[in-house]
Structure 1
């Protein structure tokens, strides 16, 4: 698939927003709107799955294997670091519970002994539980003709969202999988279908959509207004659709640095909290100003994520992509992926 720089830029911006959110949250500062980076990630994820599957004749099993190999290794490693860190006393407040730990590795929402919420050992991994659920639903849709896949996804996620209005008990898998947040994947898939059919908005409409999203996110931040999925999801959709409109019109500037951060966004998302925890602890003990601790944590957290991308994620991805299993048959050697 041709590189869509707009999507890369959005992934980068979403990751940086989440980094700032976590740095600010640890210091009781206001940047809650940064959590909306997750909404952008979910819309982008739905878009990417529809687009990359267009010209691939993958079976559901092959698709799930590909997604698992792409997502799981780095996440499992980060989770393992958390576990060993807890045993070593580096995370004294982290309680390790066997059912919760197993659920964390299997991308299942299990009640955490650390606060009682449905988050895994690596807290930000809760979004990956949603990602994997979407991948399962998308894999099931691959059994249908391409023209029926979006309708099937709409039926599945629409029904779950409707059921969600009747599920009011937090802390249960039924509650987790029926939140309106899951509709963001579906929205991204719809945008993907529009992109493939050449029906994204014109550039002027795209600029308007981007302006609406940026203005609204800024207003929420400045006014410290309450927000939820019903507000952030439409804004994330506007942002993604607007950027794709500019992409189609060849109006996006070439920003290699931002595109690179898009490539590294997954590692930044996984690993930044480790660095933020250390920086905040050192900064507070040294009596540094809050603003300096916050920005230092965000910058160093991003740099650590980039380092993990170069040292862990990329080598793992290259190894998995180019691995070969060599075995012998009578009279010849056979090399298979």
Structure 2
């Protein structure tokens, strides 16, 4: 989910990242009001497809060593995720009613190192429950890094491996946390995004072509057919259409440049990770105004405040924490490794 920002080259991707993050927040706040808000949950599917697209597009544009790739992913993901996870652990220790909070040190250790595990509720979720998506992301990054050793055919190897894992896992019905995640059909969304990355590339100046349209439709069709086997892949197909459609519009010169929406895309990782803390802050703030006033505030208004607060907190985290911390960690890793740490899109 934490992907390299593409600056001014891929505005459509930034817009979709913003939509995915806000969609997840709206789902968490409004899902009980109407089932239409349940669609926000599938912002995660969009994140997975985007992640596959970006990783292939960027590494195709500039050959990347596996070590450089992994260091870059560590610098981008680990610092904000560790901070959010440790905050969740501390908040749960102070407030036992913190949503799905856990004070289990064993789960905390596994969470910090992206080891899938079940929590006290029997769910495969880390200490920060939102981090379940990062267990998928880190597995994808680990496999993708291994494919970078190959001189050619890495996309075929990646797609074949994920397809094989899903095919093996489906009839087995695994119960272990790791085996459940590492054979989940959701892995196919990364593969689908990776194919788009190869077909479209990272440059926004490349003209759109019929080949790109047909390839995107073919990938979406395959996921749609597989949805009869695993229903959630239908939303992966929709994500493929959205990503491809955005890229085609951008390359056709029909994508407006909206700095505020791009900024939300930049902050999407922070918005996603820290949203629960924004919800807690709103709840505590309303409680401090007095029980009478708290009960007088309509639930719809509280939900709206939570959504706004989550976005605002994410923007603050991006500016005050994520950007400077990522820069510092990248510089430290560069000094330790003796090589550049970073992925960049081709102009």
TM-score by length of 2: 0.81
Q: For 1:296-307, list aligned pairs within 5 A.
A: 296-307=305-316
Give the gaps of 5 or more residues in structure 1: 213-226, 328-334
Please report how far the alpha carbon of residue 24 of structure 1 lies from its aligned counterpart in structure 2 after TM superposition: 2.1
Q: Supply the distance in 2 between the matched residues of 1:325 and 1:168 (Cα, whole angstroms).
A: 42
Q: Supply the distance in 1 between the matched residues of 2:58 and 2:137 (Cα, whole angstroms).
A: 16
* 2:254 paired residue number: 251
Aligned residue among 258, 265, 268 for 2:268: 265
Aligned residue among 63, 66, 81 for 2:69: 63
* 2:139 paired residue number: 133
Deviations 1:6-58 (A, max 9, x none): 10111011111011111224x66642110110000000000000011124333
Q: Supply the distance in 1 between the matched residues of 2:282 and 2:34 (Cα, whole angstroms).
A: 16
Say whether 1:101 aligns with 2:146.
Answer: no
Deviations 1:180-222 (A, max 9, x none): 111000000000111139695569x69x98xx9xxxxxxxxxx
Task: Flag the 1:175–1:322 CA change in 2: closer, same or farther, 3 A.
Answer: closer
Please report how far the alpha carbon of residue 155 of structure 1 lies from its aligned counterpart in structure 2 after TM superposition: 1.2
Residues matched between the structures, number: 311
* 1:319 paired residue number: 328
Q: Supply the distance in 2 between the matched residues of 1:138 and 1:229 (Cα, whole angstroms).
A: 23
Q: Supply the distance in 2 between the matched residues of 1:95 and 1:68 (Cα, whole angstroms).
A: 24
* Further displaced range: 297-306 or 170-179: 170-179
Task: Flag the 1:277–1:324 CA change in 2: closer, same or farther, 3 A.
Answer: closer
Please report how far the alpha carbon of residue 235 of structure 1 lies from its aligned counterpart in structure 2 after TM superposition: 0.7
Please report how far the alpha carbon of residue 281 of structure 1 lies from its aligned counterpart in structure 2 after TM superposition: 5.9
Give the gaps of 5 or more residues in structure 2: 1-5, 221-229, 341-347
Q: Supply the distance in 2 between the matched residues of 1:326 and 1:290 (Cα, whole angstroms).
A: 51
Task: Tell whether the 8 Å contact from 1:100 to 1:121 is kept in structure 2 after alignment.
Answer: yes
Task: Tell whether the 8 Å contact from 1:12 to 1:262 is kept in structure 2 after alignment.
Answer: yes
Task: Flag the 1:190–1:178 CA change in 2: closer, same or farther, 3 A.
Answer: same
Q: Supply the distance in 2 between the matched residues of 1:152 and 1:199 (Cα, whole angstroms).
A: 28
Tell me the C-alpha RMSD between the 2 structures: 3.0
Task: Flag the 1:88–1:164 CA change in 2: closer, same or farther, 3 A.
Answer: same
Q: Supply the distance in 1 between the matched residues of 2:306 and 2:235 (Cα, whole angstroms).
A: 26
* 1:295 paired residue number: 304
* Further displaced range: 54-63 or 130-139: 54-63
Q: Supply the distance in 2 between the matched residues of 1:240 and 1:149 (Cα, whole angstroms).
A: 22
Task: Tell whether the 8 Å contact from 2:110 to 2:116 is kept in structure 1 after alignment.
Answer: yes
Please report how far the alpha carbon of residue 63 of structure 1 lies from its aligned counterpart in structure 2 after TM superposition: 1.3
**Per chain length, whose mean CA-contact separation is higher, i.e. which structure has more relative contact order (CA < 8 Å, sep 6+)?**
2
Aligned residue among 289, 309, 331 for 2:318: 309
Task: Tell whether the 8 Å contact from 1:117 to 1:171 is kept in structure 2 after alignment.
Answer: no
* 1:240 paired residue number: 243
Q: Supply the distance in 1 between the matched residues of 2:334 and 2:303 (Cα, whole angstroms).
A: 47
* 2:13 paired residue number: 7
Say whether 1:192 aligns with 2:206.
Answer: no
Q: Supply the distance in 2 between the matched residues of 1:309 and 1:298 (Cα, whole angstroms).
A: 17
Q: Supply the distance in 2 between the matched residues of 1:191 and 1:12 (Cα, whole angstroms).
A: 20
Please report how far the alpha carbon of residue 91 of structure 1 lies from its aligned counterpart in structure 2 after TM superposition: 4.5
Q: Supply the distance in 1 between the matched residues of 2:171 and 2:126 (Cα, whole angstroms).
A: 25
Q: For 1:45-64, list aligned pairs within 5 A.
A: 45-64=51-70
Task: Flag the 1:152–1:298 CA change in 2: closer, same or farther, 3 A.
Answer: same
Say whether 1:21 aligns with 2:27.
Answer: yes
Task: Flag the 1:195–1:21 CA change in 2: closer, same or farther, 3 A.
Answer: same
Please report how far the alpha carbon of residue 323 of structure 1 lies from its aligned counterpart in structure 2 after TM superposition: 4.6
Task: Flag the 1:28–1:106 CA change in 2: closer, same or farther, 3 A.
Answer: farther
Task: Tell whether the 8 Å contact from 2:11 to 2:262 is kept in structure 1 after alignment.
Answer: yes
